[in-house]
Amino acid sequence: METEKREKIKNIIRRKLLPIVISITGSVPVDFEAAVAACTKIFTGVKDQYIEESGDAQDGYLIYFESGIARCYYYDTAADKYIITRITRKDDVVIDLNAYLHETPRVENVQMLETGTLLTIPYFNLKALLEKFPEVFPVIIHLQAEREKQHLAYQGILRLAADDKVKTFLDSNPGIATRVNNEIIASHLDMCRSTFSASYAKYRAARNKEQ
């Protein structure tokens, strides 16, 4: 079973992660693939399971979603509510870059909404990898840029009217409303469940007319 897991890790790294490295740095350093595989774990995250909780920076992970859906959220004491910053999808990478780069406490929790396969690399292993292969560090900058782009897009969605919020989100995440509790999506879009339901009904009616 352990050999099977190791082979699956190597397969995912070759198919999904190394192409990202090549696209950003132009090549893969000698022995880099083996070094990544050696410190990577694979497991199945089941619905409602917490993959990571807020806490010390050194306890964090880089998480790659081979499949499944999760929510990233934190509790906002000023607003007295939970803020869902992200609903992940297949091939997403989750990492708290402030915690990783500056060793600040991690504030977000990562909880599975749908069972899926994940790869994880502990922060201390990730730091060791980049010390050994510094030419790969631009990948971290890429992840930081992607996270900032996602954040700006999310802030843009929050400024839209309810119907436009729902349409924009669902167009970018096909089928997610049938896989995830709609109350979670409504919370992510900063609206109540009834408002989401009304907008979602309009969205489905419009899609049915187009077909």
Asked, for residue 138, whether it belongs to a domain, the answer is no
Instruction: Categorise residue 178: left if φ over 0, alpha if ψ from -120 to 50, beta otherwise.
Output: alpha
Q: Is the dihedral of CA 50, 91, 160, 208 positive or negative?
A: negative
Asked, for residue 197, whether it belongs to a domain, the answer is no
Contact by Cβ (8 Å): 90, 64: no
CB proximity list for 2: less than 8 A, separation 6 or greater: none
Specify the pLDDT at position 210: 78
Contact by Cβ (8 Å): 203, 166: yes
Specify the pLDDT at position 208: 86
Residue 86 CB neighbours (<10 A): 18
Which CATH number do you get for residue 26?
2.60.120.10
Distance CA 166, CA 170 (A): 6
Note down the domain range covering 72.
2-133
Number of compact structural domains in the chain: 1
**Average of pLDDT values for 37-46?**
96
Residue 49 has pLDDT above 80, yes or no: yes
Distance CA 182, CA 187 (A): 9
CB proximity list for 109: less than 8 A, separation 6 or greater: 50, 52, 53, 54, 72, 73, 74
Condensed to tens digits (0 to 9), the pLDDT of residues 61-103 reads 999 999 999 999 999 998 889 999 999 999 999 999 999 999 9
Condensed to tens digits (0 to 9), the pLDDT of residues 139-189 reads 999 999 998 999 999 999 999 999 999 999 999 999 999 999 999 999 999
Contact by Cβ (8 Å): 140, 79: no
Asked, for residue 156, whether it belongs to a domain, the answer is no
Residue 1 has pLDDT above 70, yes or no: no
Asked, for residue 184, whether it belongs to a domain, the answer is no
CB proximity list for 10: less than 8 A, separation 6 or greater: 33, 37
Distance CA 27, CA 111 (A): 34
Tell me the sheet residues that pair with 109.
73
Which of 52, 128, 50, 134 has the alpha carbon at shortest distance from 94?
52
Specify the pLDDT at position 79: 85
Q: Is the dihedral of CA 6, 7, 8, 12 positive or negative?
A: positive
Condensed to tens digits (0 to 9), the pLDDT of residues 128-142 reads 999 999 999 999 999
